[in-house]
Chain A
């Protein structure tokens, strides 16, 4: 058994899929370059209104119809949707035409029920994906194709009843050559029943083997193997905007629609995504006019971003932004919020002409929390929270700190915050169990890491000043005796040190700023001192150091 999904008025359906408001309206699709722009396709309502193929745009504009430009990208996306829809039911899918997909449903009864139910489900799934399709089930692919093209909605043809059911369809459903169609018309053969009733020998004498093939098709008796297609897993949605969008709010509507379609397609394949790519084609003329000033703002007011880092140098190149997720997700509302926050942080440099959104398909990762494990933030909410926090303090300022394997003071880097799921508490190991040479050992051994077992004491912490405070230190007999650094000033009550600390001598002394930390990437050499300075609220302990290269004193932090 084979099932066929056919989308009538495919060119119109491809446009209407991304604009659901047009479903109930008369729509005509135009093609060609100005000044020769003609009607390429229209839906039934537009045909009833008087629109005909080949009309010029000016003529069509006189009728109460919605006119849209033909979009090959949207048609490709609509075709991909059809394939996704079919692949959700059967792995054997034939890519017959842009508007027609045939799938082998033999043996699927136990999964999806009888053919009638499966056909209903197929039609409903296509409708959910934005395409109103005809579905037909027949014993062979061609009979199913003709039934889907000829009959609206869902059609089930029992085996052996093909000729009887297809008989009422017009001959042109077979998509025959015009000259043969004219010949049949002259003979008075209008439908498939009449064609099927003609004597075979007489047809071969007059129309050749093509005539015999057509008669077999009319009888629904052509048996051919299905040619399964293996479409690549590409999930991309595109919308070309008639008028350039200048504000974020209307752009969000476009993004929302594209994301809904993308998520529905991914869901149809039981997939999720961990990376979204947004490409915005900008109005090149606007970029050239004012490359830095014209930006998209929220709700009418403009946001000035001095460093439009997302804007590409070439005006023709699209602006691309990536949303990378720590784990596969499939939530269009979450994606929309993340994209909004991203665009708010990095607004485009010019009005948007075209939006392309693609998703990297990955298998969803099922997970189930344990009853006795501590609660952790929901991944989707955590991602949204991180994006919002990035909007407040900046993307580089949030994350999980990672201590670097070096003796350089304050050496750390910020990593993306993605806590692992709790696994339950492991039995405690003795301190001697740790393997020498393991990464854990390498990273923290020099810090004398202690286990969090209850102890009678805590570990003294350092609160750092970033950047270190420049200080004026009075030295007597090689020891600091007085310090003045901002609000820190007074006699030094006790001192310990110096502790000489140096490293990376092979690097230059010129300081080069590092992005991930507040420190510099050059060599360092310094003498550290721990001092106690009496104050009004007691004795405060500080770590100070003298930079040996510059002989300048700094307060690195306070012990707390």
Chain B
């Protein structure tokens, strides 16, 4: 009768097996291949996250003026510099082409889908309460348009980066996107070279996201030319913001999700150089 040997730990088991000539571990699950990523172009962020993973869903969330869009434009600039074709599904039409051009985004390679109120569009979210205001109803229809547009783009394939910008959609509405939609998106990009990025105010994709980044503003930097007590406002200049990025969840290469790793970087105004 054979004896079952139990190693005290997996590491001890590997060490023991490595010592026996010709024996290899039965499983290599401990080693995961590093997925391809798109760098953001900001060394601090790339060092922390390794870039935005292709074939996965990345969430960038934070309140207004937290640097979500700055980070997104940096990512798009890198993607278009690598001659990737990008798509931006803009749920609220907030995208500013001037800012994107200033950030180095090649606008010719960015498909901009502006989800705005269309009279012909049929609104059919059944759970909408009757008393929902017109503004909320329009928001719902924009989110629904964005979901449908993103679905089409992911199914079409060939895009290096697909961005869903829900940054101005109230969290209460964004939370009502069913988890099945996020799951469907994750499956659509899985095993493809497409990176799906969602920009929002609060997390909503939950476990479907491969990487979750929280952005936060730590300081606003102003420059003033005169060091007097009463400074005229026209001598002050908004120079930028100091931003913090926190990795809330990363399932890229490690077996266990990484939590709470933080870095900071500066976001400068385009006129400041």
Contacts and interface: CB of A to CB of B under 8 A. Distances in A.
B63 A538 contact: yes
A414 B116 CA distance: 15
Contacts of B273: 448
B96 interface: yes
A516 B222 CA distance: 35
Tell which of B46, B103, B265, B273 has the most Cβ of chain A within 10 Å. Answer: B103
A448 B270 CA distance: 6
Interface in A289-320: 305-306
B44 A538 contact: no
B118 A394 contact: yes
Interface stretch (A32-40, A131-139, A453-461): A453-461
B76 to A, nearest CB: 9
Contact of A400 (B96, B104, B111, B145): B111
Interface in B80-129: 80-85, 93-104, 107-116, 118-121
Interface string B229-269: 00001101110110100000000000000000000011111
Contact of A463 (B71, B85, B152, B168): B168
B236 A494 contact: yes
A112 interface: no
Interface stretch (A177-185, A202-210, A368-376, A545-553): A368-376
A437 interface: no
Contacts of B116: 393-394, 397
Contacts of B69: 461-463, 560
A305 B157 CA distance: 32
Interface in A396-413: 397-403, 410, 412
Nearest to A306: B119
Given A385-B153, A425-B82, A557-B96, A450 B103 contact: yes
A560 B68 contact: yes
Contacts of A460: 70, 99, 240-241, 267-270
B140 interface: no
Contacts of A499: 234
B74 interface: yes
Interface stretch (B6-14, B35-43, B205-213): B35-43
A397 B16 CA distance: 63
Given A459-B268, A532-B220, A541-B220, A422 B70 contact: no
Contact of A496 (B63, B167, B168, B236): B236
Contact of A397 (B80, B113, B148, B241): B113
Contact of B65 (A392, A403, A465, A538): A538
A420 interface: yes
B268 A457 contact: yes
B67 A305 contact: no
Given A419-B85, A447-B101, A458-B103, A498 B234 contact: yes
A306 to B, nearest CB: 7
A458 B152 contact: no
A385 B156 contact: yes
Contacts of A425: 81-83
Tell which of B68, B112, B216, B238 has the most Cβ of chain A within 10 Å. Answer: B238
B114 A398 contact: yes
A560 B157 contact: no
Contacts of A496: 222, 233-234, 236-238
Interface string A205-234: 000000000000000000000000000000
